[in-house]
Structure 1
Amino acid sequence: MKYLSIILFSTICFFNCTNKRNANSSDNNSEKDNWQLVWSDEFDTDGLPDTTKWNYDTRGNEYGWGNNEKQWYPVADPDNVYIRDGILTITAIKEPTFGKEYSSARLTTKGKGDWKYCKVEVRAKVPSGRGTWPAIWMLPTENNYGGWPKSGEIDIMEHVGFNPDTVFSTVHTGAFNHTIGTQVGKKIGLPTATTKFHVYTTEWNENEIKSYVDGEHYFTFTNNGEGFEAWPFDQQFHLILNLAIGGGLGGKKGIDDSKFPHHFQIDYVRVYQK
Structure 2
Amino acid sequence: MTRPDGDAMFANRRTAALSAAGALALAGCGAAPVSRERAPAIDRAAAVTAGTQAAVSDGTQAAVVRGWGPVVAGDEFNYAGPPDPAKWKVFTGPGHAGKGIRSPNALVVGGGVLTVSGDAAGTTGGMSARFAQQRYGRWEARMKIGQRDLQYHPVLILWPNNNISSTCAEIDYAEGSADTAQIKFFLHYACGGPNFQTTAARTIDTTQWHNYALEWTPAGIEGYVDGSLWFVDTNPAHQPTVGMHQTVQLDWFPNGTPTKPSQMQVDWIRVYK
Q: Same fold (TM over 0.5)?
A: yes
Q: Residue 26 and residue 71 in structure 1: after superposition, are their counterparts in 2 closer, same or farther (change >3 A)?
A: same
Q: Which residue of 2 aligns with 1:87?
A: 113
Q: Which residue of 2 aligns with 1:236?
A: 243
Q: Residue 234 and residue 20 in structure 1: after superposition, are their counterparts in 2 closer, same or farther (change >3 A)?
A: farther
Distance 1:113 1:73 in 2: 23
Residue 53 of structure 2 is aligned to residue 53 of structure 1: no
> Which structure: greater helix fraction?
1
AA aligned to 2:115 is T
Deviation digits for residues 21-60 of structure 1 (CA, Å, limit 9, x no counterpart): 1432424235x3x43311021101011110000001235x
SS at match of 1:29: helix
SS at match of 1:193: coil
Q: State how 1:19-168 maps to structure 2 within 5 Å.
A: 19-30=55-66, 32=67, 34-58=68-92, 61=94, 64-65=95-96, 68=97, 70-75=99-104, 77=105, 80-95=106-121, 102-109=122-129, 111-127=130-146, 128-142=148-162, 145-146=165-166, 150-160=167-177, 162-168=178-184
Q: Which residue of 2 aligns with 1:257?
A: 258
Gaps of 5+ in 2: 1-53
Distance 1:272 1:261 in 2: 34
Instruction: List 4+ stretches of structure 1 deviating above 6 A.
Output: none
Q: Which residue of 2 aligns with 1:184?
A: 198
Alpha-carbon contact 2:165-2:241 (below 8 Å) kept: no
Q: Which residue of 1 aligns with 2:40?
A: none
Q: Percent identity?
A: 22
Q: Residue 113 and residue 131 in structure 1: after superposition, are their counterparts in 2 closer, same or farther (change >3 A)?
A: same
AA aligned to 2:270 is R
Deviation digits for residues 207-250 of structure 1 (CA, Å, limit 9, x no counterpart): 211001111111111133x4xxx43x24211111010110xxxx
Alpha-carbon contact 1:131-1:255 (below 8 Å) kept: no
Q: Residue 40 and residue 144 in structure 1: after superposition, are their counterparts in 2 closer, same or farther (change >3 A)?
A: closer
Alpha-carbon contact 1:208-1:223 (below 8 Å) kept: yes
Which of residues 207, 218, 227 is equivalent to 1:206?
A: 218
Alpha-carbon contact 1:116-1:235 (below 8 Å) kept: yes
SS at match of 1:115: coil
SS at match of 1:133: strand
What do you get for the CA RMSD once the two structures are aligned?
A: 2.1
SS at match of 2:120: strand
Q: Residue 108 and residue 144 in structure 1: after superposition, are their counterparts in 2 closer, same or farther (change >3 A)?
A: closer
Q: Which residue of 1 aligns with 2:269?
A: 269
Distance 2:247 2:152 in 1: 16
Q: Which residue of 2 aligns with 1:4?
A: none
Shift, 1:154, TM fit: 0.8
Distance 1:53 1:262 in 2: 25
The structure with the largest alpha-carbon Rg is 1
Deviation digits for residues 60-79 of structure 1 (CA, Å, limit 9, x no counterpart): x1xx54xx25221023x1xx
AA aligned to 1:241 is V
Distance 1:138 1:43 in 2: 19
